Structure formats: C-alpha cells, structure tokens
Structure 1
Amino acid sequence: MPDSKRVRIIFSPSGKEGQFPVGTTVLQAAQELGVDIDSICGGQACCGRCQVKPMAGKFVREGLVSSDDHLGPLSADEHQCQASGQLEPGSRLSCQASLLADVKIDVPASSQVHRQLVRKDYEEHPIELDPLIHLYFVRVPVPDPDSGPGDTGLELLCATLAKDRGLSGLQAGPEVLEPLQSALRNDDRQVTVAVRDASQIVAVWPGLRDQAYGAAVDVGSTTIAVQLCDLSSGETLASTGAMNPQIRFGEDLMSRVSYAMQNPAGAGQMTRAVRSAINELLEKAIRLADIDASQVLEVTLVGNPVMHHLLLGLDPAPLGAAPFALTVDHAVEVPAAELDLQLAACARAYALPCIAGHVGADTAAVLLAESPWQKDEVSLIIDIGTNAE
C-alpha cells in the first residue's frame, strides 16, 4: 500500500509530471496524469504491453536525479516475463513497478496508446542532377599467365576503365578487393563498378547493376526524417520518419546540453540513441523501396548544431553558453561505418556544415535547396520547430 511520503515522477516524451505516495505503481501515476500507456489486461501483468524504462542521470532542468533503483524490485510476474524474453532488458512493467523515490520514466512508442504520427513532407524542386557516384559496366580481361606484376584483378580493372571509359589514376580501398575477387570468379568476368568523383572505386558487383542509391537524413530535435533516393534519376523511392529518441534525455536543445554536462556518459548515450534510430529508419526505407542495401552508397546528414555535434560524437557543451563555439564549421565526410551506420563498407556519410553556433547544417541545406541568391526578391526562411528558430 502507498504510504504518506510523496515522490515525484516525470514521464517522457509527454513531459507530464506529478507527485504520488511511495508505493504507487507507475501505471497508476500515468493514469492519473493522463499518460496513455498500453495495458489491455488492466494492470494484471499478463499482457506485457505496459513496458516502460526508468531513466538514469541528473536532469538539471527538471531538478531531478533519477535511477532505476528509485523503483521497487522486480515482481514475480516481471521475473517470469524476463525469463520468457517478453520483458526487454532495462524495462519494467508499469503495472508492477512501484515508486520509491523521484524518477523519470521513458514511455517507448511501442507502449503508447496514441502513438505519434511522424511525417515530414517535402516539396520537389527541378534540379540538374550531378551525382558524385557513376556506374560503369565493363568486362575485365583474363590475366595473361606469362605477364609479370601489374596483371592482378584490380590492375586489370583499372586498366579497362582507363582504356574504355577514360578514367585514369583510379584508387581503390581494401573494401573493394573481396567483392572484386568474388565477381571475377564468374566466367564472363563482367562487373559493374561504382566510381566516386571520377577518382575512387567504391564498389564492385558481378553482372549489370544500373542503379545506385543515396539517403538524405534530417535529424531534428523532435523528429528524424529519411528520404531514400535514386542517384541517377533523383527520384525519391521511400520516406520514413520517427521521433528522435534523444527526447527522453531532454525535450529541447538546452535540456540535452545540460544532460550531457551533468552526466559524464550523457553525450555518448544520446549519440548512440540517434544513430540507432537512423539505422532503423534506413532499414525501413530500404525495405519499403525493395532495393539491395549494398547499393546505398551515399548518406547526407543535416541538423541543428546540437543534433549535428551529437550525431558526429562531438561534445555539445560549448554550444550551451556564449560564445556558442562550434567544434567544426566545415563539412564532415567520413565512412558511414564511423557513424555506426549499418550500410555497405564503402558507403560514405557527408554532414553539411553548420554556419554558426545557432545556425545549423539544416539551414545550410535549405539555402542550397532554395538558392535565394538566384532570386531578385528577398527570401525569409522560418523554421518553427521544437526550438522555434
């Protein structure tokens, strides 16, 4: 039974909070505050759908320190759910978890009754395509057994591209060697080669491939949007979106910066969360478009300065106070794997530059898309998002 001592509970992402007697279950508190948690069994611990996650750390803006031990120990029903694999690691059944001390609770999308519809529409502009990636279909000759060095598969491929396509001085990384070796096992030795910027061989496939793909990712404070595009036609093949999971660490930029400053592992937690969400959206877009993931070769990323820094694994703390100094103000291009993006080994990630401490890569992308310098009239760009820029 609840006792007379009252403790504070905050729910994320709704931000709803209240004070309740010790012993009150999380589900009871949620119901009183109007936080809709899925519980079709009515709190009998038999549906497993009311799962929530206690958050750990110091939340300065809310003036609260939260920990998983601020809830009572797992009940027998929770142990049973855990043993059966129904209860996710780190999660609790809100109908069983009782309040012991102040706590912040994350209600994941899967446990929300009224799940948020996340969608970012876009308007297509006519543009002249100039993709960085070009595909070439060639036949690699069989090596001459009497020739000396310089007759390897890679050397023969480069020589063929130079002779037939005028591409000289091409470079190739180690990630290309195994796919090339595999492709050249076919009797016809016909391969499709992806070349970036007329200088780098980035992918090799057996036979004919006539499409390469790229993804555009907009990391907002509240939502993340992904567009999957055909690099040769410019066509958008799939669009996906989701809530930014960083919201459980703070609902706006400054609260996330505060969380990173007050919790030594905070920035890393937020970096892992956003990268994981991007991977899920990329996977969904690839599935919707029904394409081969190995042909997604380019990812372009934008976001406000804090989102940009956290995505790249940079400390956002300098952006929380004057002079709001950026760690980097030029474009960043790295292998997609360095950002934990689960794409082909040759995929590259390109983060547009931030313009200033409060003007991010998302604004740079808008400027590129709208080209206001080409217009006679004055243009005004307004972003009424979470942070109301």
Structure 2
Amino acid sequence: MVKIKFIPYNREIEVPKGENLLEAVRKAGIFMDTPCNGSGACGKCKVKKINGNIVSKNSRYITEEEEKDGYILACQSIIEADSTVEVPETESSSMHGMKIEDFSGNREKDIFQSSKKRMLESGMKFGTYVKKEYLEMDPPTLDDNISDFERLKRHIRKQLNYSSVFCRLPILRKIPKLLRKANFKITITHIPRGNEKTTIINVEEGDKTRELYGAAVDIGTTSVAACLVNLYNGELMARASSGNAQIKYGADVINRIIYSTKGSGLQELNYAVIQETINPLLDKMYRDSGISRDQVVSFVAAGNTTMSHLFLGVYPNFLRMEPYIPAFVKTPFIKASELDIEVNPETFIYLVPCVASYVGGDISSGVLSSGMWNSEENVLFIDLGTNGEIVFGNSEYLMTCACSAGPAFEGGEISCGMRASGGAVEKVSIDGNYEPTLGVIGNEKPLGICGSGIIDLICEMMFAGIIDRKGKIVKGLDTNRIRFDEHGIGEYILAFKDQYNLERNIGITEVDIDSFIRAKAAIYSGITTLLNNLSMDFTDIDRIYIAGGIGNSLNIDNAVKIGMLPDIDQSKIHYIGNSSLMGCYLTLMSEDARHKLEQIANSMTYVELSVEPKYMDEFVSACFLPHTDIDKFPTVKKCFNKSV
C-alpha cells in the first residue's frame, strides 16, 4: 500500500501500489470532471504532482511548459510510491453553478404557461389521485379501548366510506404519539383504490388539507432540474438544479454504461444520481419552501433510457450492444423507500416510460409538453443535450430517432470546452481583424467555452475566413491568434492567458472543430433520415421545437449557417425550454396527462439509424460547413456570395 495526499483538500488515503491516480481521486471523495471517463481523450483531469513517484503517459493535452511544472493527466498516471498531488479546485466544483433550464426565467415561465394552456384546451383535466382528509376522532376511553389503528380505520369507514383501509409499518410507528399530540384531530393523506379501498401514506397533526405537494425531476445526462409543486393549484413552490454527479464517471451514456459493468460501478452511478444529486436538490427545495419531506407524496421523473436504468440501479450494458435491448421501457410503480429518495417513503415513484434504447422518457415527456401529439401541423422536435434525440410528426403519427452527437454540445471532447456555468463563453463574434468579442456567463472572466459559444465561434471563423468549409484553419493570416503545433494542427486563440490572468490560453483546435462538425452532422443527418423514411423533405416541416439546455443561448441563425439545422424560414423555429421537466410537471398534476404520456410512448415509431442504409451517406455529406451540397442551404450560399 502507498499513501496519496491531495491538496488543497488535505485528504490522504491509502491505495494499492500501481493504483490509477484518477481512481484514487474518486476514492478520496474529490469530484473531478472526466467527460471521457479516463480514456485520456478529453484532458480534463489535469492535476499537478508535488512530490512522490507517479508514472504518467505523455499526452497532447499537457504542454512542454506544463510538463516541466509537474502537470499530468490523472487518468493516465499510476501511483508507485507515497505522493502528493494538487487537484485544481475549479475542477472539483465544475458541476455547480451550471446554467440549467428549469422554469425560473421569464421566457421559461411563458413557455410553462403556454404548455399548461395547451393541455387545458385539449380537454385534459388537472387533479391528483392522492387525497387529503381532515378527521376528528373520538379519544379512547376504558369503555372504547380499541387499538389506535382500528380507531383510525373506524373513523375513515364512518366519515369517508372506505370499507378497507391499509397502511405500512412507517405509519404504524408514527400514529401513537402523533394522535395524542394532535388530540386526535389529524389529517390523513391516502391513495384510494376504487370506491372501497384506500391506503394511508401519511398522518399529520391538525388540519393540513390545503397542503399537498409533489416533486418533478428531469434527470439529464449532464444536469438535473427539479421543482416542488402544490398539487391542488399547480403553484411552483421551489426550484433547484445542478450538474448530474455522474459526470465524474464520463460525459456521455456510453462511458457510464461501460463504467457500470466494472466492480461496484453500477452502485456508484446509482448513488451519484440519487444521493449526490437528486436528494440534495430536494433538500434545498425543502429549505427554500418550508415544506417537509413527508408532505411530498407524489414524484415524477424522466430521463433518457440509460439514465432511467441507472436511476433504478438496473444493469444497462445491453443498451449499447446490438440489437440494443433495454431491460425495460416502462416500470411498475416503485416506492420511494426502495430507492432512498428523500420524499415521503410511501410515495409512489413514477418514471416516465421510454421508447427504445436511445430514446427515453425525457423525450416522451418533451413530446407531451410540446403539444405536437395534438397538432395538425408537421412538427419537428429536437432535444439538444448530451444526446441528440429527434421526433417528427403530428396528431396522427410520431416517428423518432437518436443521433450519436456525443458530448460536444455540452463542451465535452473540446479542449477548452466546459458546461454552461459561470465563466463559460456562450456568445462570440469576430471582426475583420480576426479579433473576437466574447459573451461570458455571469460576466466573469472566460474559463472555457460551452456549446452555444462553440456554434457561434465556428460560424464566425467560417465567415471571417479563418477556417475553410472543412473546418481547417487557413494558413498565412495576419493575426497572432492563429498558431500551429509541431504536428501541423492549427488553433485559434479566443482568450490569451496573460490578458485574463489564466493558467492557459483558451482556444479551439482543428481537432475540436472536427469533433463539433461531427456532432452537428449527426443532428442534421438524423433529421434528413427521419424525413426520408416518410418520403418527406424540409418543405414539409411546419414548425421546429428546440429543447434542451443549449437552446437558451442558441443563435438559431448561426446554427443554420454551420449546417446543424435545416435552412428553412427561421420564424418556424421555436425554443421550448426544458420540455422534459415540463412534461413531468404536467404528469404530476394530471391523471389525464399521465394516460396521454403512456399513449405517446407506445405510439412512437423508433428508427435505428445505425441500420439505416443511407444514414452514413447523409452523415458524411453533413460533415462539412454547412454541407457538401451548398444548394441545400440557399440563404447561407447567399451569405458566402456576399462575403466574396
């Protein structure tokens, strides 16, 4: 065994000689953002060796200057003797402060109200299946000395007409003291089963019939958003969001699936999403609203198919192996106590049904909230997140597919990429002298660049003549912002380290640009393939809905110019926020919405792109700026002609 000490955390642990440094960081309980899950492909696990014997492989992410200063990649390093390592604090806090879509902004509130209105106009009713009733019970006497539970059942039968009343052990443990403290005046929360049977899930002192709450949670691969809701009137009592703590095990679902197959990996991933992410969000909302966990008696969550498996602790590996079979798409009701979710332990957990291996409940939920299932128009729904899912259809049909876009839209696999948190460059413009103007989240100094900023940057570089349509940097330009390494790989410097007092320059390389071009090509070719399956084209699209975190700062015009979105009338393109969380809210509030959600998930036709014969041709054609066939982008072609 050898000792490894981490500063500035002042944590020291013992590990076997030959232990991987990244695994040691994880064992020490230090959060480290590792989009590639330790494959050495992202360079985000950079640490500084202070002393000791650590053997590390060379990496293109470590410059000669950094190597001299002791910097290494944790995932590519082996501990051979007692050592001390410095882990940058910025890495340990990167999942916090993320710019995550919930219902907090003015635009999101408008979207929220519009979605509710659409539901009501479609004839759906709001109302929860959970009930609350106030009871005034007769105190026991020597003549009336039946048990507390029999007394409770007697009053329920008498006042509410239920012939059979059930409860579980937590209620039995609660009632003796509470009944007497409340002077036998209590409020029960119960779930009726028809007209004769009911199950008690909570007992409270006094009249609490006006207080009934539920929680809605969107479990994203990168981020998790939640809201606490008054089930009587739909009021949002509190909101909370954070990064998904699973990101320390990889930025995308494939890396996490692989990690789940190793040792206790599945348990660690399940613990990360529930104990390190969802429960802290719930606790925050309880503090903000003054509501207790026992008052939360309904819970709806949605996530992609992999996130749904990891949330339940179900082995997910067959999702990534042909023929791509999920363990489930729909689950039975699960008690909160089975998953250690911090709500009333008797609460049923409703996990929104998935569609297929790579189209999950978040998309079912998004389609519900978008209203496209009730539309006469042809609607294209695109969820731009860590994964790229697409749905096309209307009230008569829904067809869907998933694109292997990878984590580039969240800043993953980009050398200076980061998620949308404070310090992330989210907007970029470049002038005629190749000089950039940056829009930074929080008006802070730039620390990296997020998805929307990368779209702007690539578009601006293309029209400024810094890159060609293959994404290659043009040589011979009169600017100190362009440089080439010893391998001839070009880089454009967005922010100089001396200008902003940074550890290193913030720039984008040709390798980064190529990764992002592949990501945008996956989206565009997925749309094209879906339409081809229906013998349709872009002229048949009446409306496009963009969902997902990147949409909030997305410049639609630039997204079209780089060839990510089709070149159609941009008035048809609308951003609809966190549609998954919205769908969870609607499901929480309405039994009608839940039934419609089940119909939506069952009715979607899934297209597996990996076996579509023409998909790869479409993808390769789209790996260009904006496309190999410029005539598919007539407005972009005009812009090129004007710039010549």
What interval of TM-score do these two structures reach, taking the shorter chain for normalisation? 0.7 to 0.9
1:281 matched to 2:281? The reply is yes
1:73 matched to 2:68? The reply is no
Contact persistence 1:303–1:360 (CA under 8 A): yes
Partner of 2:87: 94
Output the CA distance in 2 between the equivalents of 1:155 and 1:231. Answer: 29
Partner of 1:141: 138
Normalising by the residue count of structure 2, what TM-score does the alignment of the two structures yield? 0.45
Contact persistence 1:172–1:200 (CA under 8 A): yes
Change (3 A) 1:182 1:219: same
Output the CA distance in 2 between the equivalents of 1:160 and 1:235. Answer: 32
User: 3-state DSSP class of the match of 1:197?
Assistant: strand
Residue type of the alignment partner of 1:134: K
Listed one character per residue, the Cα deviations across residues 290-336 of structure 1 (whole Å, up to 9, x for unaligned) are 22222112221110000000010011101111221111222332221
Change (3 A) 1:375 1:167: farther
1:167 matched to 2:149? The reply is no
Q: How does 1:207-246 map to 2 (within 5 A)?
A: 207-209=206-208, 210-246=210-246
Listed one character per residue, the Cα deviations across residues 188-246 of structure 1 (whole Å, up to 9, x for unaligned) are 31000001235211000111112021111111111011111111111111111111111
Change (3 A) 1:23 1:234: closer
Output the CA distance in 2 between the equivalents of 1:115 and 1:291. Answer: 24
Listed one character per residue, the Cα deviations across residues 248-301 of structure 1 (whole Å, up to 9, x for unaligned) are 11111112122223x222222111111121111111111111222221122211
Partner of 1:12: 33
Q: Alpha-carbon deviation of 1:138?
A: 0.7
Contact persistence 1:176–1:202 (CA under 8 A): yes
Output the CA distance in 2 between the equivalents of 1:257 and 1:108. Answer: 23
Partner of 1:182: 177
Q: How does 1:218-367 map to 2 (within 5 A)?
A: 218-261=218-261, 263-276=262-275, 277-367=277-367
The one of 100, 106, 109 equivalent to 1:118 is 100
Output the CA distance in 2 between the equivalents of 1:307 and 1:329. Answer: 12
Residue type of the alignment partner of 2:174: P
1:192 matched to 2:200? The reply is no
Q: Alpha-carbon deviation of 1:114?
A: 9.4
1:388 matched to 2:414? The reply is no
Contact persistence 1:335–1:346 (CA under 8 A): yes
User: 3-state DSSP class of the match of 1:328?
Assistant: coil
Residue type of the alignment partner of 1:157: L
Output the CA distance in 2 between the equivalents of 1:334 and 1:162. Answer: 27
Change (3 A) 1:387 1:143: same
Q: Alpha-carbon deviation of 1:146?
A: 3.7
Q: Alpha-carbon deviation of 1:140?
A: 1.4
Unaligned runs of 5+ in 1: 1-6, 35-42, 44-52, 56-63, 76-91, 96-104
Aligned residues: 322
Equivalent pairs: percent with the same residue?
A: 25
Q: Alpha-carbon deviation of 1:19?
A: 11
Which sits farther off after the overlay, 137-146 or 282-291? Answer: 137-146
Contact persistence 1:240–1:281 (CA under 8 A): yes
Change (3 A) 1:222 1:192: same
Change (3 A) 1:299 1:18: closer
The one of 153, 157, 182 equivalent to 2:152 is 157
Output the CA distance in 2 between the equivalents of 1:379 and 1:20. Answer: 44
Output the CA distance in 2 between the equivalents of 1:248 and 1:364. Answer: 27
Q: How does 1:14-53 map to 2 (within 5 A)?
A: 16-17=42-43, 23=49
Listed one character per residue, the Cα deviations across residues 39-65 of structure 1 (whole Å, up to 9, x for unaligned) are xxxx9xxxxxxxxx967xxxxxxxx6x
Contact persistence 2:224–2:278 (CA under 8 A): yes
1:107 matched to 2:104? The reply is no
Which sits farther off after the overlay, 319-328 or 181-190? Answer: 181-190
Output the CA distance in 2 between the equivalents of 1:218 and 1:327. Answer: 20
Change (3 A) 1:358 1:14: closer
Residue type of the alignment partner of 1:202: I
Contact persistence 2:229–2:236 (CA under 8 A): yes
Partner of 1:82: none
Contact persistence 2:35–2:252 (CA under 8 A): no
Residue type of the alignment partner of 1:221: T
User: 3-state DSSP class of the match of 2:354?
Assistant: coil
Change (3 A) 1:136 1:54: farther
User: 3-state DSSP class of the match of 1:184?
Assistant: helix
Partner of 1:79: none
Output the CA distance in 1 between the equivalents of 2:46 and 2:363. Answer: 44
Residue type of the alignment partner of 2:241: G
Change (3 A) 1:366 1:117: closer
Partner of 2:461: none
Contact persistence 1:214–1:299 (CA under 8 A): yes
Partner of 1:206: 205
Output the CA distance in 2 between the equivalents of 1:380 and 1:308. Answer: 24
User: 3-state DSSP class of the match of 1:331?
Assistant: coil
Which sits farther off after the overlay, 192-201 or 224-233? Answer: 192-201
User: 3-state DSSP class of the match of 2:345?
Assistant: coil
Output the CA distance in 2 between the equivalents of 1:230 and 1:19. Answer: 42
Residue type of the alignment partner of 1:137: Y
Unaligned runs of 5+ in 2: 1-19, 24-31, 37-41, 64-68, 390-644
Divergent runs of 4+, >6 A: 7-11, 18-22
RMSD: 3.6
Output the CA distance in 2 between the equivalents of 1:175 and 1:158. Answer: 16
Change (3 A) 1:108 1:154: same
Which sits farther off after the overlay, 369-378 or 162-171? Answer: 369-378
Q: Alpha-carbon deviation of 1:161?
A: 2.0
Output the CA distance in 1 between the equivalents of 2:269 and 2:234. Answer: 32
Contact persistence 1:9–1:17 (CA under 8 A): no
Partner of 1:101: none
Listed one character per residue, the Cα deviations across residues 56-84 of structure 1 (whole Å, up to 9, x for unaligned) are xxxxxxxx6x66x37x6355xxxxxxxxx
Output the CA distance in 2 between the equivalents of 1:273 and 1:360. Answer: 20
Normalising by the residue count of structure 1, what TM-score does the alignment of the two structures yield? 0.72
Output the CA distance in 2 between the equivalents of 1:196 and 1:114. Answer: 37
